[in-house]
Amino acid sequence: MLLKYQVKKIWNDPIKNFICFLVLFFPCLEIIYNLFDLISREAHVLRPEFMCFLVGSSTRISHVFQSIVLWFFPLYSLLLTSEDCIEERKTGIRNIVIAKEGKKKYIKSHLYKSFIFSFLLIMLMLLINMALVYIIFAGGKTPKYDDLMLSLRTDNLLWACKNGLLVNFIYIIITAAICGLISMVGTISAIMLVDRKIVYGITMLFWFAPTFLSKSLLYVFQPFTEYSLSFVAPTIIGVFVVYILYISGWYVKEVYFDKKSI
């Protein structure tokens, strides 16, 4: 019931609805750009699986669209699912809910809301994009790489190119799951730390720090490169472990060790 109420608050907020619309819109905008780009250059159409949002098939501006959505996703998630935690403390609503439902249920409901909403938002965005791509660019035959380039790359890339739909779907699930977790990081930070500057700073640090690793988090979001999932698996596992430990640590501390009201 509490979770349903919190999700309903998001849907009833016009600003948050607009943010959701922007997140869903940018992949569609990329399709429009790619379509006009192909027409203007009279270029050959790639196979649909290579035109999906995560692939970044355009050499000009597709990566800009990716950056706007994925690089800054923690900001969107903070505005969508974490700001409520800060506002509820300032207005005193949090104390009322905790008195009625309990601290454990209060924190859990916010964390569940953050993960589910962000996970589904990214999943929906990428699945809509993939569905539109397969319709609009149906019949595309040109591979992303020619035979010479493929011969210089790895067996993993060859396998990925032959199983494009499956690979795209796997990357979509992984991307959505990581976005859901960073949303939870922002929410638990908002519940515990309250100060917006600290909350936003910590969340962005957790998001960007893994991108500077040799096996960068950015490789996790882009299929059909020379970097296979097995190559970036340590980064995926590390990100999941660190995020979950951070979330769990704050949760355990507050629920089981801090008996005073939050």
Task: Please say whether the beta carbons of 248 and 196 come within 8 A.
Answer: no
3-state SS class at 95: helix
Q: What is the pLDDT of residue 90?
A: 84
Q: What is the pLDDT of residue 61?
A: 66
Give the helix/strand (H/E) hosting 27: helix 14-41
Ranges of the chain whose pLDDT falls below 70: 1, 41-44, 57-62, 141-156, 259-262
Q: What is the pLDDT of residue 142?
A: 63
> What is the Cα–Cα distance from 243 to 41, expressed in whole angstroms?
44
One-letter amino acid identity for 92? G
Q: What is the pLDDT of residue 148?
A: 42
**Closest CA relative to residue 251, chosen from 83, 92, 152, 114:** 114
Q: What is the pLDDT of residue 225?
A: 76
> What is the Cα–Cα distance from 172 to 170, expressed in whole angstroms?
5
H runs (alpha helix) in 137-195: 147-151, 155-162, 164-193
pTM, whole model, 2 decimals? Answer: 0.88
Q: What is the pLDDT of residue 161?
A: 76
Task: Please say whether the beta carbons of 156 and 228 come within 8 A.
Answer: yes
**Residues 141, 147, 152, 156: is their CA dihedral positive or negative?**
positive
Q: What is the pLDDT of residue 262?
A: 47
Q: What is the pLDDT of residue 68?
A: 86
3-state SS class at 46: strand
**Residues 82, 74, 23, 241: is their CA dihedral positive or negative?**
negative
CA 230 vs CA 19, 112, 168, 233: distances in Å? 34, 29, 15, 5
